[in-house]
Structure 1
Amino acid sequence: MSVLLLGILAVVLLNVYAIVLILLRSRVYGVGLYRPMLLNIALSFLPVLLAIVLGVGLLLLAPVFGRLAQLVASGGVILVWSYLVVATLVWLVFFPNSVYLITELNFSHRGEDTPVPLWYDIVQTLALTLSGIANAVLSLAVVQTMFIVLVDLPGAAIPSSSWVAAGAIIVLGAIGVYLGRYLRLNSWDVRHPASLLWKLTTHLRQPGKALEAFGFVLTHALLIALLYVPLFVLGWSAVRAGAL
């Protein structure tokens, strides 16, 4: 099995395992189904689907762009980059939903009188969190790989420009998580940028909030980076070695 397919399969199975544990929690222990977790898993996996659609869409549209380029000078190049910019921005808006599952470790779904054993909720919530991190890593890896192929000639070394792009995305993802957790904003709130900016500035003006936001973004971004970088390097090395 190729490295790419194995990675996708592992991520899908981790998501399925998290879903199964959430459903079993309700059935086995007779408690209400905590539906927000199921919704969060769906939103978390959405960036993976969008990244795959982004790549497949580029492959399907490439012949069309090529034919248009023959009719209009540089028309194909303009269309390719227009597609990439729009599609990447859509993916980036939903990317924080994957990283957001880290915040589920606050066990907000547990009540004081819950009959669910703590050990079960630990495994269930950890599986949920890891599924989100896995979704973030996989979707970002797909986007960074496309960046390398389109912007730089793939070589033995990973281009530094792609690391800059990946780092910026990780930081933006951490910012998105902060906005979601503390300002209760969603991905679709970008439709109202003025309101979003007003809420953010009002929040950061409160004593200590700016420092808190900086610490939150820094620690979350570093965590994702420490997990993502070695995994991408290993995957890239395997692909370059012919495992793909």
Structure 2
Amino acid sequence: MLTSLILGVLLMNVLAVGLVLGRAPLFGTRLYRPMLLNLVLAVAPLVVLVLAALLVLPMLALGVPRWIPVVLTVVLALVWLLLLPNAGYLVTELNLNHRRPGERVPEWYDVLLVLTLAMAGVLTTVLNVLSIELIYTLLRFGDRAAPLAGAEARTLVVVLMLLVALGIWLGRSVRLNSWDVLHPGSLVHKVTGALRAPGGARDAVGFTLVGGAFFVVMYVTVAGPVVQALVELERLRGR
């Protein structure tokens, strides 16, 4: 089931890229580059996870001083967390703002395009969080699947999904990017300004809670069967 999820995420992203790239030559219009950039940013957290595995695991196997892989893991984990909302951000593409007067692009094509982008973002977010849940459980409890269904793992998922929703709000409403963390003074000024604006704090809290709930429900729907299958497989082997 995990393999099917990974394959599904890959295919959804490939389909999204194909629809974005095919739009221009098929209908004689311009290439909408921001969508491609958002897709690249959406898969960036997964790239960080793969990079972490390629760098940290060999260090542990070779007996490198433990503080080196620990520090590297912490740094890559922070980078991953900063990039994670970029995947969920694709749900904000659920509009037709990219359409321009005079374009001959059928509306059905653009509707399917934005739906595919949104689904690619949701599925990529789910896969990212599931990967972290698996890694966390492995490090915390060892080679056991039962803790995946425990309160600690579920709390981790909820917290991460709330942070994803908050990150999406910061990106869409405050127009922040992940790399804005390199300019903390400007970042704090923009965020406080947005929160102090009329209705700003209410919108931030509302979107974070509702958006977080949406991603949690999607996680339960998509990743839940994978987690349940791992737990059940362990239970059957223990008989």
Q: TM-score, normalised by structure 2?
A: 0.89
2: distance between equivalents of 1:96 and 1:210? 19
- Paired position in structure 2 for 1:99: 88
Which residue among 96, 100, 116 is the counterpart of 1:127?
116
Q: CA shift at 1:112, angstroms?
A: 4.0
Per the alignment, residue 156 of structure 1 pairs with 146
1:60 CA displacement: 1.6
Match of 1:58 in 2: 56
Deviation at 1:80, TM superposition (A): 4.5
Q: Tell me by how many angstroms 1:96 deviates.
A: 0.5
- What is the alpha-carbon distance in structure 2 between the residues aligned to residue 59 and residue 211 of structure 1? 43
Asked if 1:229 corresponds to 2:220, the answer is yes
The alignment partner of 1:109 has SS state of coil
Whether the aligned pair in 1 keeps the contact of 2:87 and 2:124 (CA below 8 Å) is yes
Q: Which moved more, 1:213-222 or 1:157-166?
A: 157-166
1:71-220 to 2 correspondences below 5 Å: 76=66, 78-153=67-142, 154-158=144-148, 159-220=150-211
Cα 1:155–1:135 shift into 2, 3 Å: closer
Q: Which runs of 5+ in 1 are unaligned?
A: 69-75
Q: Identify if the C-alpha distance between structure 1 residues 56 and 164 changes in structure 2 by more than 3 Å, giving closer, same or farther.
A: farther
2:137/2:147 contact within 8 Å kept: no
Q: Which amino acid aligns with 1:92?
A: L
**Distance in 1 between the 2:58 and 2:6 partners?**
21
Q: Distance in 1 between matches of 2:180 and 2:218?
A: 29
> Secondary structure of 1:106's partner?
coil
Cα offset, 1:237, TM superposition = 2.8
Number of residue pairs matched by the alignment: 231
Deviations 1:41-91 (A, max 9, x none): 111011112122223433222123x453xxxxxxx3x44543332221110
Given candidates 10, 21, 24, the residue that maps to 1:23 is: 21
CA distance in 2, matches of 1:86, 1:129: 29
- 1:52·1:142 contact (CA, 8 Å) conserved in 2? no
**How far has the Cα of 1:187 moved from its partner?**
0.5
For the Cα contact (< 8 Å) 2:141–2:147, is it kept in 1? Answer: no
In the alignment, structure 2 segments of 5+ residues that lack a partner are 235-239
Q: One-letter code of the match for 1:145?
A: L
Contact 2:145 2:230 in 1 (8 A): no
The structural deviation recorded for 1:162 is 2.0
- For each residue in 1:101-126, what CA deviation from the matched residue of structure 2 results, as whole angstroms up to 9, or x when unmatched? 00001222023443211111110110
Offset of residue 206 of structure 1: 1.1
CA contact (8 A) 2:95 2:114 kept: no
- Provide the secondary structure at the position in 2 that maps to 1:116: coil
One-letter amino acid of the counterpart of residue 160, structure 2? I
- Give the share of equivalent positions with the same residue, in percent: 36
- Measure the CA separation in 2 of the matches of 1:171 and 1:46: 19
Q: CA deviation at 1:7?
A: 2.0
1:85–1:229: structure 2 CA closer, same or farther, 3 Å change rule? farther
TM-score (norm 1): 0.88
Instruction: Tell me the distance in 1 between the aligned counterparts of 2:64 and 2:75.
Output: 21
